[in-house]
Chain A
Amino acid sequence: MRLGRPVLWVFCGLVGFWLVAPALIVLPLSFTGQASLLFPPRSWSLRWYGNFFGDPAWIGAFWTSIQVAVLVTVVSTVIGTAAAVGLTRGRGRGLVAANALILSPMIVPGIVFAIGSYATFLALRMVGSLGGFVMAHTVLALPFVVIPVAARLRGFDRRLELASASLGAGRWATFRQVTLPLVAPGVLAGALFAFVTSFDEVVVSLFIQSPYLQTLPVKMYSSVSRDTDPTIAAAASMIIVLTTVLVLVASYVTVRRSRAR
């Protein structure tokens, strides 16, 4: 065991490095002074950030992504929480099937889902529409909300709901004042996953985009295949920073809430 511990530390360190390595490459790369993705950069500048914010196509894609992700977060958190309540509280034969159906976007290959969405939206004339993006991403995000919320609900003491009812609170009042606050960490985690799922989704978005409405990952993909300039590194860095900040805020809030108990 003397030798075991240091070996374990080294191994974990390597795994950790492997996980963050792409970010460690992309972040410095976004500050390169050259017009290529050569690593390590030989000179430094902020021109690619300037390029990003100066180009309406990049800014537009960025705002589209934010809009879609926020809407997806709201819609999928509401629907997913309601679904989790139904799945954990309901009784009946349909429940197993409903559960499988809701979780299926995690299993069905993205490309299959993308082709299906494209064909459907084509028929409905929804290709390249905000509503189309929100609908498609909501389906993808739903399992990431249902799983943590359902887990919280299963660990929840149902007697608290009986107590609440005996004290004069109806179903909705009980849900809002007792159940929801106690499963809030699960809901928060679900909302965060939903945002991130939508914000960096690329496969489905590639199919349902139009030249007039594309999300940031789609714009990045077309940029990398067309002109390979380091603006893409600046865009990637901003995605990394945004998602990291979100996760940090969420865990800070969760820790503070549990300390208050």
Chain B
Amino acid sequence: MPDSAPPTGLARAGGEITLERLTKRYADTAAVEDVSLTIRPGEFMTLLGPSGSGKTTTLNAIAGFVTPTSGRLLIDGVPVDNVPPHRRDIGMVFQHYALFPHMTVAENIAFPLKQRKVARGRRAELVDAALATVRLPGFERRYPHELSGGQQQRVAVARSIVYAPRVLLMDEPLGALDKKLRDWLQLEIKRIHDELGTTFVYVTHDQDEALVLSDRVAVFNHGKIQQVGTPGELYERPSTLFVAQFLGDSTVLRGQVSRNGSDGSTLGKCGRILRAPGSLDSAGSIDGAIVVRPERLAVHANGGGPEGTDWNTLPAVVEREIYLGSSRKLELRLPDGDPALVREQAGQLADVRPGDQVTLAWRVADSVLLTDDPDVEAALT
């Protein structure tokens, strides 16, 4: 127990977690395959992906609940593969709270301190500090079943931070709560992370949660990491079609991609040539896609629209209009039947309505060129 870091005594320098080619196989299927990842000290890292993508198995491997088939796991540079869960100095918060029903709130929170043989007086101080941190003072003598779901989860968080572990793992901690409570607790978790300085590893399938909370996000699919990056990088520069579609909305324009000069490519779509920066890693023309985020697209009423080599344009028909107050979404249909999605900010709405023939336009620089992945739609549902 470090006695640095007043006032709460709960702050602690975060640990560094290194996964080296981690693999976990069950019978003939790989739950996690060849995952390498370094989580920096004090970082808020989210493992994001659909169910069955390997994110929870990875988290359980860090906790020590799952023994990897191969690969290595290091915390602060020390291999922990043979260290049992209770000696890893890790905290964990579970989706269904996992509070001990036969203990009061105070006894639950004091449990890890008791295991560490912390003196009674000090225990009470730390329990108070932890309850204050999760903003539940005065709940010491209640039993878990007397608390709401949100309160129980805050007690679970208090219990996992009270001994100042170097790493805190969270497995969909807000998954069982309703939307309003979730939004509020998200901010609470972020605040607690900022206050403590502990390394957080957070598992979720909720992309909004990942974007709001994380310093960096690792996107999982089929047991593999698709991309690791800051929320901004993942959103603006997705490296696979899966990431582009899993994180946020996007319009996907599929077609044949050819290299065009030294620093650009072209893609044929609806009889037009669309340009994008960069190139795909291959010679000749291959199946690819240009991905554009909805707020990067603009619609122009009949005949309008920008021209020049900086811009891509496509004809489209407005199908539906979704008014959201601060913004408006337009669902469009391209001549070849593919959908497109546009988001306009209030005050900048184009004068179009459903049924209108429009021009869809966006900057070449806003086009993200990616290799096609025919299975991506199946993976997302």
Interfacial residues, chain A to chain B (CB-CB below 8 A)? 157, 159-160, 162-170, 173-174, 177-178, 181-182, 260-261
User: Which of chain B's residues have a CB closer than 8 A to the CB of A174?
Assistant: 86
Stretch at the interface among B96-104, B282-290, B309-317, B328-336: B96-104
Per the bound structure, the CA–CA distance linking A174 and B86 in Å amounts to 10
Tell me the dominant secondary structure on chain A's binding face.
helix
Within 8 A of A (CB), among B152-193: 159-160, 163, 169
Closest chain-B Cβ to A155's Cβ sits at a distance in Å of 12
B96 engages A166 (CB within 8 Å): no
**CB < 8 Å neighbour of B94 from A163, A170, A181:** A163
B96 engages A173 (CB within 8 Å): no
Closest chain-B Cβ to A187's Cβ sits at a distance in Å of 14
Closest chain-A Cβ to B201's Cβ sits at a distance in Å of 12
Closest chain-B Cβ to A120's Cβ sits at a distance in Å of 42
Stretch at the interface among B12-20, B30-38, B108-116, B300-308: B108-116
B98 engages A159 (CB within 8 Å): yes
B143 engages A166 (CB within 8 Å): no
B112 engages A167 (CB within 8 Å): yes
A160 engages B90 (CB within 8 Å): no
| Contact size range, B | 20 to 34
**CB < 8 Å neighbour of B86 from A157, A159, A165, A181:** A165
Per the bound structure, the CA–CA distance linking A165 and B86 in Å amounts to 5
Per the bound structure, the CA–CA distance linking A170 and B96 in Å amounts to 22
Closest chain-A Cβ to B183's Cβ sits at a distance in Å of 25
User: Which of chain B's residues have a CB closer than 8 A to the CB of A178?
Assistant: 100
**CB < 8 Å neighbour of A160 from B98, B116, B145:** B98
Question: Does B84 sit within 8 A of A, measured CB to CB?
Answer: yes
B115 engages A169 (CB within 8 Å): yes
Per the bound structure, the CA–CA distance linking A178 and B112 in Å amounts to 12
Per the bound structure, the CA–CA distance linking A192 and B65 in Å amounts to 36
| Sample (9) of A-B pairs whose CB atoms are under 8 Å apart | A162-B92, A162-B94, A165-B86, A166-B91, A168-B89, A169-B86, A169-B111, A173-B115, A181-B102
> Which 5 residue pairs spanning A and B have beta carbons closest together?
A163-B98, A166-B92, A167-B112, A168-B115, A165-B85
A159 engages B112 (CB within 8 Å): no
Closest chain-B Cβ to A171's Cβ sits at a distance in Å of 8
A166 engages B115 (CB within 8 Å): no
A159-B96, A170-B86, A261-B145 given as contacts; is B102 within 8 A of A164 (CB)? no
Per the bound structure, the CA–CA distance linking A166 and B163 in Å amounts to 11
A166-B160, A168-B112, A168-B115 given as contacts; is B101 within 8 A of A182 (CB)? yes
A168-B86, A169-B111, A173-B115 given as contacts; is B163 within 8 A of A163 (CB)? no
B92 engages A163 (CB within 8 Å): yes
Residue of A168, A174, A181, A261 with most chain B CB atoms under a 10 A cut-off: A168
Q: Mark B274-293, 1 if CB is under 8 A from A, else 0.
A: 00000000000000000000
User: Which of chain A's residues have a CB closer than 8 A to the CB of B92?
Assistant: 162-163, 166
Closest chain-B Cβ to A239's Cβ sits at a distance in Å of 34
A159-B94, A181-B102 given as contacts; is B84 within 8 A of A164 (CB)? no
Closest chain-B Cβ to A209's Cβ sits at a distance in Å of 43
Question: Does B63 sit within 8 A of A, measured CB to CB?
Answer: yes
Within 8 A of A (CB), among B110-167: 111-112, 115-116, 143, 145, 159-160, 163
Q: Mark B42-77, 1 if CB is under 8 A from A, else 0.
A: 000000000000000000000111000000000000
A166-B63, A170-B84, A173-B115 given as contacts; is B163 within 8 A of A157 (CB)? no
**CB < 8 Å neighbour of A182 from B102, B160, B169:** B102
User: Which of chain B's residues have a CB closer than 8 A to the CB of A260?
Assistant: 143
A164 engages B90 (CB within 8 Å): no
Closest chain-B Cβ to A174's Cβ sits at a distance in Å of 8
Per the bound structure, the CA–CA distance linking A164 and B63 in Å amounts to 12
A165-B85, A165-B86 given as contacts; is B143 within 8 A of A261 (CB)? yes
User: Which of chain B's residues have a CB closer than 8 A to the CB of A160?
Assistant: 98, 100
A157 engages B98 (CB within 8 Å): yes
Closest chain-B Cβ to A77's Cβ sits at a distance in Å of 19
Closest chain-A Cβ to B92's Cβ sits at a distance in Å of 4
Per the bound structure, the CA–CA distance linking A165 and B65 in Å amounts to 9
User: Which of chain B's residues have a CB closer than 8 A to the CB of A162?
Assistant: 63, 65, 85, 92, 94, 98
Per the bound structure, the CA–CA distance linking A185 and B116 in Å amounts to 29
Per the bound structure, the CA–CA distance linking A49 and B75 in Å amounts to 73
User: Which of chain A's residues have a CB closer than 8 A to the CB of B89?
Assistant: 168
Per the bound structure, the CA–CA distance linking A261 and B104 in Å amounts to 9
Identify the closest chain B residue to A178 (Cβ).
B100
Residue of A165, A173, A177 with most chain B CB atoms under a 10 A cut-off: A165
**CB < 8 Å neighbour of A164 from B87, B111, B145:** B111
List 9 other contacts, CB 8 Å, given A159-B94, A163-B94, A167-B163. A157-B98, A162-B65, A163-B100, A166-B90, A168-B87, A168-B112, A169-B115, A181-B102, A261-B145
Closest chain-A Cβ to B171's Cβ sits at a distance in Å of 10
User: Which of chain A's residues have a CB closer than 8 A to the CB of B111?
Assistant: 164, 167, 169, 177
A166-B91, A167-B111, A168-B115 given as contacts; is B101 within 8 A of A261 (CB)? yes
Identify the closest chain B residue to A168 (Cβ).
B115
User: Which of chain B's residues have a CB closer than 8 A to the CB of A261?
Assistant: 101-102, 143, 145
B94 engages A167 (CB within 8 Å): no
User: Which of chain A's residues have a CB closer than 8 A to the CB of B90?
Assistant: 166
Closest chain-A Cβ to B325's Cβ sits at a distance in Å of 41
User: Which of chain A's residues have a CB closer than 8 A to the CB of B100?
Assistant: 160, 163-164, 178, 182
Per the bound structure, the CA–CA distance linking A163 and B64 in Å amounts to 12
User: Which of chain A's residues have a CB closer than 8 A to the CB of B87?
Assistant: 168
**CB < 8 Å neighbour of B163 from A159, A164, A168, A181:** A168
User: Which of chain A's residues have a CB closer than 8 A to the CB of B85?
Assistant: 162, 165-166
User: Which of chain B's residues have a CB closer than 8 A to the CB of A173?
Assistant: 86, 115
Per the bound structure, the CA–CA distance linking A177 and B111 in Å amounts to 9
